[in-house]
A and B are shown apart, each in its own frame.
Chain A
Amino acid sequence: DVVMTQTPVSLSVSLGGQVSISCRSSQSLVHNNGNTYLSWYLQKPGQSPQLLIYKVSNRFSGISDRFSGSGSGTDFTLKISRVEPDDLGVYYCGQGTQYPYTFGAGTKLELK
Protein backbone atom coordinates (compact mmCIF):
# COMPACT_ATOMS: atom_id res chain seq x y z
CA ASP A 1 0.00 0.00 0.00
CA VAL A 2 1.11 3.60 -0.61
CA VAL A 3 1.92 5.27 2.70
CA MET A 4 1.20 9.01 2.84
CA THR A 5 3.26 10.97 5.38
CA GLN A 6 2.16 14.47 6.31
CA THR A 7 4.23 17.03 8.15
CA PRO A 8 3.86 18.78 10.45
CA VAL A 9 1.26 17.09 12.63
CA SER A 10 0.07 20.49 13.79
CA LEU A 11 0.68 24.07 12.82
CA SER A 12 -0.02 27.38 14.54
CA VAL A 13 -0.61 30.42 12.38
CA SER A 14 -1.58 34.04 12.80
CA LEU A 15 -4.52 35.35 10.84
CA GLY A 16 -3.26 36.76 7.57
CA GLY A 17 -0.17 34.60 7.63
CA GLN A 18 1.00 31.88 5.25
CA VAL A 19 1.55 28.18 5.91
CA SER A 20 2.78 25.13 4.03
CA ILE A 21 1.90 21.50 4.62
CA SER A 22 4.05 18.71 3.24
CA CYS A 23 2.82 15.33 2.01
CA ARG A 24 5.18 12.58 0.93
CA SER A 25 4.22 9.24 -0.59
CA SER A 26 6.12 5.98 -0.22
CA GLN A 27 5.87 5.40 -4.00
CA SER A 28 5.58 7.63 -7.01
CA LEU A 29 2.02 8.84 -7.58
CA VAL A 30 2.46 9.14 -11.34
CA HIS A 31 -0.21 6.95 -12.93
CA ASN A 32 0.39 4.88 -16.04
CA ASN A 33 -1.67 7.47 -17.92
CA GLY A 34 0.79 10.23 -16.94
CA ASN A 35 -1.48 11.97 -14.42
CA THR A 36 -0.71 12.31 -10.72
CA TYR A 37 -3.71 11.69 -8.46
CA LEU A 38 -2.86 13.60 -5.32
CA SER A 39 -5.65 15.53 -3.61
CA TRP A 40 -6.06 17.71 -0.52
CA TYR A 41 -9.04 17.92 1.85
CA LEU A 42 -10.00 20.14 4.77
CA GLN A 43 -12.13 18.90 7.63
CA LYS A 44 -13.42 21.80 9.69
CA PRO A 45 -14.43 21.09 13.29
CA GLY A 46 -17.63 19.05 13.44
CA GLN A 47 -17.97 18.87 9.66
CA SER A 48 -17.40 16.39 6.84
CA PRO A 49 -14.19 16.67 4.83
CA GLN A 50 -14.28 18.90 1.75
CA LEU A 51 -12.16 18.69 -1.38
CA LEU A 52 -9.75 21.57 -1.90
CA ILE A 53 -7.27 20.42 -4.57
CA TYR A 54 -7.18 17.48 -6.99
CA LYS A 55 -4.48 16.22 -9.36
CA VAL A 56 -1.79 18.05 -7.37
CA SER A 57 -2.65 21.61 -8.26
CA ASN A 58 -6.25 21.94 -9.52
CA ARG A 59 -8.50 23.92 -7.22
CA PHE A 60 -11.96 22.43 -6.81
CA SER A 61 -15.06 24.46 -7.62
CA GLY A 62 -15.48 27.42 -5.28
CA ILE A 63 -12.10 27.06 -3.58
CA SER A 64 -10.24 30.31 -2.97
CA ASP A 65 -7.02 31.02 -4.85
CA ARG A 66 -5.40 31.43 -1.44
CA PHE A 67 -5.04 27.65 -1.58
CA SER A 68 -2.40 26.26 -3.93
CA GLY A 69 -0.99 22.79 -4.47
CA SER A 70 2.32 21.81 -5.99
CA GLY A 71 4.74 18.93 -6.25
CA SER A 72 5.52 15.86 -8.28
CA GLY A 73 6.44 12.22 -7.94
CA THR A 74 6.48 11.59 -4.19
CA ASP A 75 6.74 15.08 -2.74
CA PHE A 76 3.79 17.48 -2.52
CA THR A 77 2.91 20.73 -0.79
CA LEU A 78 -0.26 22.63 0.08
CA LYS A 79 0.20 26.36 0.64
CA ILE A 80 -2.38 28.58 2.28
CA SER A 81 -1.88 32.32 2.06
CA ARG A 82 -3.62 35.09 3.99
CA VAL A 83 -5.02 32.59 6.49
CA GLU A 84 -8.61 33.27 7.58
CA PRO A 85 -10.53 31.90 10.58
CA ASP A 86 -12.55 29.63 8.27
CA ASP A 87 -9.34 27.85 7.18
CA LEU A 88 -8.83 26.24 10.58
CA GLY A 89 -9.24 22.48 10.90
CA VAL A 90 -7.46 19.30 9.83
CA TYR A 91 -5.91 19.00 6.38
CA TYR A 92 -5.50 15.61 4.72
CA CYS A 93 -3.68 14.59 1.57
CA GLY A 94 -4.88 11.54 -0.33
CA GLN A 95 -3.72 9.46 -3.27
CA GLY A 96 -5.89 7.88 -5.94
CA THR A 97 -3.17 6.57 -8.22
CA GLN A 98 -3.11 3.06 -6.84
CA TYR A 99 -5.50 0.80 -4.92
CA PRO A 100 -6.07 0.91 -2.05
CA TYR A 101 -6.61 4.65 -1.98
CA THR A 102 -4.84 6.06 1.07
CA PHE A 103 -4.72 9.27 3.09
CA GLY A 104 -2.17 11.01 5.22
CA ALA A 105 -2.76 11.17 8.98
CA GLY A 106 -3.68 14.84 8.86
CA THR A 107 -2.26 18.23 9.81
CA LYS A 108 -4.16 20.33 12.32
CA LEU A 109 -4.11 24.04 11.61
CA GLU A 110 -4.68 26.21 14.68
CA LEU A 111 -4.56 29.87 15.54
CA LYS A 112 -1.44 31.19 17.21
Chain B
Amino acid sequence: EVQLVETGGGLVQPGRSLKLSCVASGFTFNNYWMSWTRQAPGKGLEWVASITNSGGSTYYPDSVKGRFTISRDNAQNTLYLQMNSLRSEDTATYYCTRDGSYGWFAYWGQGTLVTVSS
Protein backbone atom coordinates (compact mmCIF):
# COMPACT_ATOMS: atom_id res chain seq x y z
CA GLU B 1 0.00 0.00 0.00
CA VAL B 2 1.36 3.41 -0.99
CA GLN B 3 1.83 5.67 2.03
CA LEU B 4 3.02 9.27 2.11
CA VAL B 5 3.46 10.90 5.51
CA GLU B 6 4.25 14.61 5.68
CA THR B 7 5.76 16.33 8.71
CA GLY B 8 7.30 19.66 9.53
CA GLY B 9 4.38 22.06 9.34
CA GLY B 10 3.62 24.64 11.99
CA LEU B 11 3.40 28.33 12.81
CA VAL B 12 6.21 30.47 11.42
CA GLN B 13 6.76 34.22 11.21
CA PRO B 14 6.86 36.03 7.86
CA GLY B 15 10.32 36.04 6.35
CA ARG B 16 11.43 32.91 8.21
CA SER B 17 12.10 29.41 6.88
CA LEU B 18 10.58 25.97 7.30
CA LYS B 19 11.43 22.53 5.91
CA LEU B 20 8.79 19.92 5.20
CA SER B 21 9.48 16.20 4.90
CA CYS B 22 7.51 13.39 3.33
CA VAL B 23 8.39 9.77 4.05
CA ALA B 24 7.24 7.35 1.37
CA SER B 25 6.57 3.63 1.64
CA GLY B 26 4.84 0.87 -0.27
CA PHE B 27 6.53 1.52 -3.61
CA THR B 28 9.98 1.88 -5.17
CA PHE B 29 10.59 5.55 -4.37
CA ASN B 30 13.39 6.16 -6.86
CA ASN B 31 11.18 5.10 -9.78
CA TYR B 32 8.78 8.02 -9.48
CA TRP B 33 8.61 11.76 -9.87
CA MET B 34 7.32 13.45 -6.74
CA SER B 35 5.60 16.76 -6.11
CA TRP B 36 4.22 19.16 -3.53
CA THR B 37 0.78 20.73 -3.94
CA ARG B 38 -0.82 23.11 -1.48
CA GLN B 39 -4.29 24.25 -0.49
CA ALA B 40 -4.92 27.52 1.32
CA PRO B 41 -7.71 27.34 3.93
CA GLY B 42 -11.05 27.06 2.17
CA LYS B 43 -9.43 27.44 -1.25
CA GLY B 44 -8.47 25.28 -4.23
CA LEU B 45 -5.35 23.39 -5.18
CA GLU B 46 -2.05 24.97 -6.25
CA TRP B 47 0.92 23.01 -7.57
CA VAL B 48 4.12 24.04 -5.77
CA ALA B 49 7.03 21.93 -7.01
CA SER B 50 8.03 18.72 -8.79
CA ILE B 51 11.22 16.68 -8.91
CA THR B 52 12.32 13.92 -11.26
CA ASN B 53 12.92 10.41 -9.93
CA SER B 54 16.70 10.92 -9.87
CA GLY B 55 16.45 14.38 -8.37
CA GLY B 56 18.31 15.80 -11.32
CA SER B 57 15.61 18.25 -12.39
CA THR B 58 13.14 20.39 -10.50
CA TYR B 59 10.18 22.56 -11.52
CA TYR B 60 8.33 25.41 -9.81
CA PRO B 61 5.63 27.97 -10.52
CA ASP B 62 6.66 31.63 -10.40
CA SER B 63 4.86 32.10 -7.07
CA VAL B 64 7.52 30.10 -5.20
CA LYS B 65 10.50 30.05 -7.60
CA GLY B 66 13.63 31.28 -5.86
CA ARG B 67 12.10 30.83 -2.39
CA PHE B 68 11.21 27.11 -2.27
CA THR B 69 13.48 24.15 -3.03
CA ILE B 70 12.28 20.60 -3.57
CA SER B 71 14.74 17.78 -3.01
CA ARG B 72 14.78 14.08 -2.28
CA ASP B 73 16.89 11.42 -0.59
CA ASN B 74 16.26 8.18 -2.47
CA ALA B 75 18.23 6.17 0.08
CA GLN B 76 15.87 7.34 2.81
CA ASN B 77 12.66 7.33 0.68
CA THR B 78 12.12 10.93 1.70
CA LEU B 79 10.97 14.03 -0.15
CA TYR B 80 11.66 17.53 1.15
CA LEU B 81 10.44 21.07 0.63
CA GLN B 82 12.66 23.85 1.92
CA MET B 83 10.63 27.03 2.18
CA ASN B 84 12.44 30.35 2.66
CA SER B 85 11.26 33.95 2.89
CA LEU B 86 7.80 32.77 3.83
CA ARG B 87 4.83 35.06 3.24
CA SER B 88 1.31 35.10 4.65
CA GLU B 89 0.03 33.86 1.27
CA ASP B 90 2.06 30.67 1.73
CA THR B 91 -0.31 29.66 4.54
CA ALA B 92 -1.78 26.34 3.39
CA THR B 93 -1.94 22.62 3.84
CA TYR B 94 0.96 21.12 1.91
CA TYR B 95 0.45 17.73 0.29
CA CYS B 96 3.16 15.39 -0.88
CA THR B 97 2.21 13.43 -4.00
CA ARG B 98 3.53 10.52 -6.01
CA ASP B 99 3.13 11.44 -9.62
CA GLY B 100 1.98 9.75 -12.77
CA SER B 101 3.75 10.99 -15.84
CA TYR B 102 3.26 14.61 -16.89
CA GLY B 103 1.53 16.18 -13.94
CA TRP B 104 -1.13 13.99 -12.63
CA PHE B 105 -0.93 13.23 -8.96
CA ALA B 106 -1.68 9.59 -8.30
CA TYR B 107 -1.28 9.36 -4.52
CA TRP B 108 -1.58 12.07 -1.87
CA GLY B 109 -0.41 12.27 1.70
CA GLN B 110 -2.62 13.51 4.54
CA GLY B 111 -1.04 16.96 4.38
CA THR B 112 0.77 19.21 6.84
CA LEU B 113 -0.46 22.69 7.74
CA VAL B 114 1.88 25.66 7.43
CA THR B 115 0.71 28.92 8.97
CA VAL B 116 2.70 32.07 8.26
CA SER B 117 1.79 34.76 10.73
CA SER B 118 3.39 37.16 13.18
Chain A positions within 8 Å of B, measured between CB atoms, are 1, 31, 35, 37, 39, 41, 48-51, 54-55, 60, 92, 94-97, 99-106
Contact = CB atoms under 8 A, between A and B. Distances in A.
A105 B44 contact: yes
Contacts of B100: 39, 51, 54
A59 B117 CA distance: 40
26 contacts: A1-B61, A35-B102, A37-B103, A39-B100, A41-B45, A41-B105, A48-B108, A48-B110, A49-B108, A51-B108, A54-B104, A54-B106, A94-B103, A94-B104, A94-B105, A96-B103, A97-B102, A99-B59, A99-B61, A100-B47, A100-B59, A101-B47, A101-B61, A105-B44, A106-B44, A106-B45
A8 B105 CA distance: 23
List the 3 closest pairs (A to B, CB-CB), nearest first: A96-B103, A100-B61, A39-B104
Interface of B: 44-47, 50, 59-62, 95, 100, 102-111
Given A48-B95, A50-B108, A97 B44 contact: no
Nearest to A35: B102
Most buried by A among B47, B50, B59: B47
Nearest to A54: B104
Contact of B45 (A49, A50, A55): A49
Most buried by A among B104, B105, B107, B108: B104
Nearest to B47: A101
A102 B47 contact: yes
Given A100-B47, A100-B62, A102-B47, 5 more contacts: A94-B104, A95-B103, A96-B104, A97-B103, A103-B44
Nearest to B111: A48
B102 A31 contact: yes
B102 A37 contact: yes
Contacts of A54: 100, 104, 106
Nearest to B46: A103
